């Protein structure tokens, strides 16, 4: 340990000139300073090939008999996952990845791990997901894991660009709240000074309040659900993309959501060609329109197939899910029974047993829920009571409606659910940086 420490160099005045991916044969002969992690070391006779991994990609470093003695000596100390700086010259080399390598004149060893990672950088050794999550930050050093989060970043930037273009403003709503949004079952209680409070399970009520002034708002932020079960598609803390807009109904919102998904799928596919290749996934192409079925139609079809379902059931039983899986791709289920949706979804005027709510599915997985909202304070109060909630707890919300509220509609979409679809991952934990579930609160 002491020996390793004393072998370390200081960063000093070295600063990066290029990322690995900036280099190509065109840089032949240029002086470069690179930083990164040692992904692999291959010794071939008197020549050492070192693959350096930085946040953008990989680059080959070559140490041969002409390299300075100091660099050669330091090479002897290096192991995988060492953090280093390399000063040297780029050299066009046909056989190297991307046709270029770097011949170092100086090397700085910035960190040497005291522990050997339980997996290699390129996914040849695959430890269990649990083990990977225990040291998630190390897991994410691996290019094919990092790729998922580059795609995530592209998707989020796509969502922002799409909504910004359409006049939405990005908002933030409180995560420390005094009452449930949709009922108390799935809330995390916390101590707020000397009072009981909760972590927000949805920005629903706040985004509705905000449309009364801003008309078009969205939030990309955490939601907290204290669901006791552990599944491959639920997290206790997840990121929700919440959109709300005034002077529209659920049909407009379904149009918007469909356009949004097509836009981010296309954009991330184009922006992240390398990342999709790394994870071995062909980017999705979404050509046709998403299907739109009423709950009644789905209900009748399931009934006709002999699948057990009662009017008002959600579509999450194992048997229903295996039927939905067969539908393939994205589709909407709309016009749900009012009793199966939250109190803020607007019942149809001519048939109040049915509401203007929808869910977006990909196969059997729910991706988003939305609808036209109740905009009358009076109706909202009676819907609260019908849903078994106490209007007194929602005083702060109902009061806003007393000052008037425009017609409005919106949706909430699980970012991780969308990412599971885009990156074709079966387990939601794969697409979350530091997933939280009933049995995991660290790291």
If binding is defined by CB under 6 A, does position 440 make contact with ligand ATP? no
Using alpha carbons, select from 82, 98, 91 the residue that is nearest to residue 41. 82
Stretch touching ligand ATP by CB under 6 A, among 11-19, 76-84, 258-266, 406-414: 406-414
Nearer to Mg ion, 57 or 371 (CB): 371
If binding is defined by CB under 6 A, does position 347 make contact with ligand ATP? no
Nearer to Mg ion, 20 or 201 (CB): 201
Residues 76/34, Cβ–Cβ less than 8 Å: no
User: In 10 A of CB 349, how many CB atoms?
Assistant: 7
* 238 binds, options Mg ion, ligand ATP, none, Cβ within 5 to 8 A by partner type: ligand ATP
Angstrom distance (rounded) from CA 222 to CA 231: 19
- The residues that bridge with 18 in the sheet, in sequence order, are none
CB of residue 108 to ligand ATP, shortest distance in Å: 43
CB of residue 344 to ligand ATP, shortest distance in Å: 11
* Sign of the torsion formed by the C-alpha atoms of 134, 138, 144 and 145: positive
Phi, psi of 75 (to 5 degrees): -55, -35
If binding is defined by CB under 6 A, does position 235 make contact with ligand ATP? yes
If binding is defined by CB under 6 A, does position 234 make contact with ligand ATP? yes
Tell which one of 20, 67, 209, 369 touches ligand ATP (CB under 6 A): 369
Angstrom distance (rounded) from CA 20 to CA 22: 6
If binding is defined by CB under 6 A, does position 225 make contact with ligand ATP? yes
Which residues in the 346-385 window bind Mg ion by CB under 5 A?
369
- Helix, strand, or coil here: 197? strand
Tell which one of 75, 309, 368, 380 touches ligand ATP (CB under 6 A): 368
> Which region holds residue 118: left if phi is over 0, alpha if psi is between -120 and 50, else beta?
alpha
If binding is defined by CB under 6 A, does position 367 make contact with ligand ATP? yes
Nearer to Mg ion, 173 or 369 (CB): 369
CB of residue 235 to ligand ATP, shortest distance in Å: 4
Nearer to ligand ATP, 109 or 432 (CB): 432
If binding is defined by CB under 5 A, does position 202 make contact with Mg ion? no
Stretch 420-439: interaction string toward Mg ion, x if CB under 5 A: --------------------
Indicate the DSSP class of residue 125. Answer: S
Size of the site for ligand ATP (CB under 6 A): 16
Phi, psi of 55 (to 5 degrees): -65, -15
- Helix, strand, or coil here: 278? helix
Question: Which helix (H) or strand (E) covers residue 361, if one does?
Answer: strand 357-362
Residues 148/279, Cβ–Cβ less than 8 Å: yes
- The residues that bridge with 51 in the sheet, in sequence order, are 40, 60
User: In 10 A of CB 51, how many CB atoms?
Assistant: 21
* 28 binds, options Mg ion, ligand ATP, none, Cβ within 5 to 8 A by partner type: none
* Sign of the torsion formed by the C-alpha atoms of 338, 343, 349 and 352: positive
If binding is defined by CB under 6 A, does position 416 make contact with ligand ATP? yes
If binding is defined by CB under 6 A, does position 227 make contact with ligand ATP? yes
How remote is the C-alpha of 430 from its chain's centroid?
9
Residues 78/41, Cβ–Cβ less than 8 Å: yes
Stretch 11-50: interaction string toward ligand ATP, x if CB under 6 A: ----------------------------------------
Nearer to Mg ion, 35 or 224 (CB): 224
Which residues of this chain interact with ligand ATP, rule CB under 6 A? 225, 227, 234-235, 238, 240, 316, 366-369, 412-414, 416-417
């Amino acid at each position: 340990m002491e020996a390793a420490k004393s072998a370390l160099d200081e960063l000093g005045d070295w600063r990066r000139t290029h990322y690995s991916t900036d280099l190509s044969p065109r840089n032949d002969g240029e002086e470069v300073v690179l930083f990164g992690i040692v992904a692999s070391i291959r010794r071939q006779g008197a020549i050492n090939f070192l693959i350096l991994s930085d946040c953008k990609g990989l680059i080959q470093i070559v140490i041969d008999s002409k390299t300075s003695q100091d660099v050669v000596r330091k090479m002897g100390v290096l192991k995988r996952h060492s953090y280093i700086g390399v000063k040297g010259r780029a050299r066009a080399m046909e056989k190297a990845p991307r046709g270029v390598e770097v011949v170092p004149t100086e090397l700085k060893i910035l960190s040497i791990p005291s522990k050997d990672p339980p997996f290699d950088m390129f996914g040849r050794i695959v430890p269990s997901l649990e083990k990977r999550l225990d040291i998630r930050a190390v897991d994410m050093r691996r290019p094919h894991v990092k790729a998922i989060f580059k795609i995530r970043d592209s998707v989020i930037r796509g969502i922002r660009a799409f909504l910004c273009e359409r006049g939405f403003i990005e908002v933030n709503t409180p995560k420390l709240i005094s009452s449930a949004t949709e009922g108390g079952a799935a809330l995390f209680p916390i101590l707020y000074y000397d009072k009981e409070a909760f972590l927000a399970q949805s920005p629903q009520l706040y985004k509705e309040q905000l449309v009364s002034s801003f008309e078009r708002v969205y939030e990309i932020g955490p939601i907290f659900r204290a669901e006791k079960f552990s599944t491959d598609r639920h997290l206790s803390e997840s990121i929700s993309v919440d959109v709300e807009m005034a002077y529209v109904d659920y049909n407009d919102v379904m149009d918007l959501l469909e356009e949004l998904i097509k836009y981010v799928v296309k954009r991330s596919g184009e922006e992240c060609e390398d990342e999709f290749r790394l994870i071995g996934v062909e980017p999705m192409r979404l050509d046709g329109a998403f299907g739109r079925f009423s709950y009644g139609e789905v209900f009748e079809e399931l009934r006709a197939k002999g699948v057990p379902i009662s009017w008002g059931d959600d579509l999450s039983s194992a048997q229903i899910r295996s039927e939905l899986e067969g539908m393939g791709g994205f589709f909407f289920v709309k016009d749900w029974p009012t009793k199966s949706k939250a109190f803020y979804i607007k019942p149809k005027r001519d048939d109040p047993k049915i509401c203007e709510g929808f869910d977006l599915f990909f196969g059997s997985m729910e991706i988003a829920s939305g609808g036209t909202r109740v905009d009358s304070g009076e109706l909202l109060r009676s819907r609260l009571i019908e849903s078994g909630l106490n209007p007194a707890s929602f005083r702060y919300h109902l009061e806003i409606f007393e000052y008037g509220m425009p017609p409005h509609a919106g949706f909430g979409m699980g970012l991780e659910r969308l990412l599971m679809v885009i990156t074709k991952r079966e387990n939601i934990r794969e697409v979350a940086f530091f997933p939280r579930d009933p049995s995991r609160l660290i790291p």
